[in-house]
Amino acid sequence: MAQSKKITNDLRVVIIGAGMAGILSAIKLREAGYTDFIIYEKANRVGGTWRENTYPGIACDVPAHLYTYSFEPNPNWSQTFAPGDEIEAYFEGVAHKYGVMESIRFGEEIKSCEFADGRWHLLTAKGERDTADILIAATGVLHHPNIPDIPGLDTFAGARFHSARWDHTVPLEGKRVGVIGTGSTAIQITSALAAKVGKFELFQRTAQWIMPIENAHYSEAERASFTRDPKLMASLRDQLHEMMIGGIANAVIKADSPEMHMIEKACLDNLENGVKDPGLREKLRPNYRAACKRLIFSTDFYDAIQHPNAELVTEAIEAVEPKGIRTKDGRLHDLDVLVLATGFAADRFVRPARVIGRDGIDLDTVWADRPFAYLSISVPNFPNFFMLNGPNGPVGNFSLIQIAEFQLGYIMQLLDQIRAGTCQQISASLAATEKFDEARISAGKGSIWSTGCKSWYLDKHGVPASWPWAYSRFAEVMATPELDAYDLVS
């Protein structure tokens, strides 16, 4: 008679990062009966990107009622696209409510993770060591600031900082403020500061298409109604889901879809009707299709950049000098404050931590050409190592909370195989990963991201690095793992 497999609850799980995905992981692990887990967080607070980004005007570009854990709805969001401080407070509140804080080691940055003798061996920046059966990288995507290589940048005599390291001790009233960059962050900063400082200059290398989605404020009565009747909030969430998924997320994967053309028309009409001066309008007109770069939602950017205090500078930057920025036309733009809204190194993921897999294989070596993972979750020859919002995931105008919940549900089913004794190690097979990557690259050619622009959605070969299929397909794939795509080691 065959012996039954032993179910074990004593697997040790280490989670890297106490942002949105790390908090989620801890909650769901405990809910599933795991008791031996810990979160290592490099900072002294939870919140991830919402802890680090505190620049004026910061808000999420996904509607707040979608950017919310499904099991913890929030009736008190103040507006459609919630400001950053509300989002950070939400995550802190959830972490306290579900007892996550007691499982976090703050101020402990993971420096290396090595798989040896069937377990992960971890080393922190403080020299502390730990071991784990399971390693979950909840390290996020946009958290390593990208510092541009501009001659003389370090010579600037005023206050200088990256937008993700905003120095709130620097006074701005009456100051001459320069912002380099025109991504979502720079657009939000422009809207927040153009009318409030002495002089505001936005240094634009590439114009952006602006989608005019209204950021409606919820009244006290509406928020009270959401609290009394959760069905109202659920209905709103469904409406927002349809708007974002049906109207935007699924549109961008088909460059010539009717929905994509509707988005382009809305962006074009916004530019034509929103900018009065013909010269400025042409400077703000992108030379690529809308949504080739990540769509930016704003109803007030064009008003802000047309404010008497504001100037759009399109002349290329020659160098930074002690007094300001010298552009290639020879003009010196005198500044008191210089902000680098120059984005992030989007290809880092769990790095700079060194991750060593089976037989000494280094993740940096494996990812030397470009980061990749099977379904953005698992890398061949890195057993029991799982990523949330890893390479090639659906980052294109989706709610990353929804994506992380799908991914974690999938990962938990893989852990069930280990927990039940079916295997001790599990990682994606090379064959399945290569097949997935081939299909992903092929599908990406039909997306709006492949129509001719430079963006952080593209890898160094110009191939879209995001999920190129519909949201519904992602949900379907995440429902149940295909174990044939994995190497199971007993």
Domain boundaries, the chain: 13-46+100-144+346-489, 153-214+237-340
Note whether 178 and 190 are within 8 A (CB): no
Per residue in 78-105, pLDDT (tens digit) is 999 999 999 999 999 999 999 999 999 9
Contacts of 229 (CB under 8 A, 6+ apart): none
Helices (H) then strands (E): counts for the chain? 13, 21
pTM: 0.95
Distance CA 70, CA 80 (A): 17
What integer pLDDT is reported at residue 397 of this predicted model? 58
Per residue in 201-248, pLDDT (tens digit) is 999 999 999 999 989 999 999 999 999 999 999 999 999 999 888 888
* pLDDT greater than 90 at residue 345: no
Average pLDDT, the chain: 94
Residue whose tokens read 């599933």: 32
Residue 6 identity (one-letter amino acid): K
- pLDDT band at residue 398 using 50, 70 and 90 as cut-offs: confident
Residue 434, burial from CB neighbour count under 10 angstroms (0-12, 13-18, 19+): middle
CA 261 to chain centre: 26
What integer pLDDT is reported at residue 246 of this predicted model? 81
Topology agreement, domain 13-46+100-144+346-489 and domain 153-214+237-340: yes
- pLDDT band at residue 141 using 50, 70 and 90 as cut-offs: confident
Q: How would you classify the pairing of strands 425-428 and 486-489?
A: antiparallel
- pLDDT band at residue 2 using 50, 70 and 90 as cut-offs: very low
When pLDDT is averaged across residues 153-160 and rounded to a whole number, the result is 98
Distance CA 280, CA 381 (A): 53
Distance CA 318, CA 74 (A): 47
Query: Of 3.90.400.10, 3.30.930.10, 3.30.70.20, 3.50.50.60, which CATH number belongs to 13-46+100-144+346-489?
Result: 3.50.50.60
* pLDDT greater than 60 at residue 7: no
Per residue in 183-203, pLDDT (tens digit) is 999 999 999 999 999 999 999
- pLDDT band at residue 137 using 50, 70 and 90 as cut-offs: very high
Note whether 245 and 471 are within 8 A (CB): yes
Length of the chain: 490
What integer pLDDT is reported at residue 296 of this predicted model? 94
* pLDDT greater than 60 at residue 4: no
193 is written with which tokens?
């500061």
When pLDDT is averaged across residues 260-265 and rounded to a whole number, the result is 96
When pLDDT is averaged across residues 356-371 and rounded to a whole number, the result is 95
What integer pLDDT is reported at residue 3 of this predicted model? 37
* pLDDT greater than 50 at residue 1: no
* pLDDT greater than 60 at residue 6: no
When pLDDT is averaged across residues 432-444 and rounded to a whole number, the result is 96
What integer pLDDT is reported at residue 5 of this predicted model? 41
When pLDDT is averaged across residues 383-404 and rounded to a whole number, the result is 89
Distance CA 217, CA 81 (A): 9
What integer pLDDT is reported at residue 142 of this predicted model? 78
367 is written with which tokens?
């990812």
When pLDDT is averaged across residues 135-142 and rounded to a whole number, the result is 91
- pLDDT band at residue 8 using 50, 70 and 90 as cut-offs: low
The Cα-based distances of 390 to 242, 421, 458, 470 in angstroms read 25, 27, 15, 18
Question: What CATH number is given for 153-214+237-340 in this structure?
Answer: 3.50.50.60
Note whether 391 and 371 are within 8 A (CB): yes
Q: Give percent of the chain with pLDDT exceeding 90.
A: 89
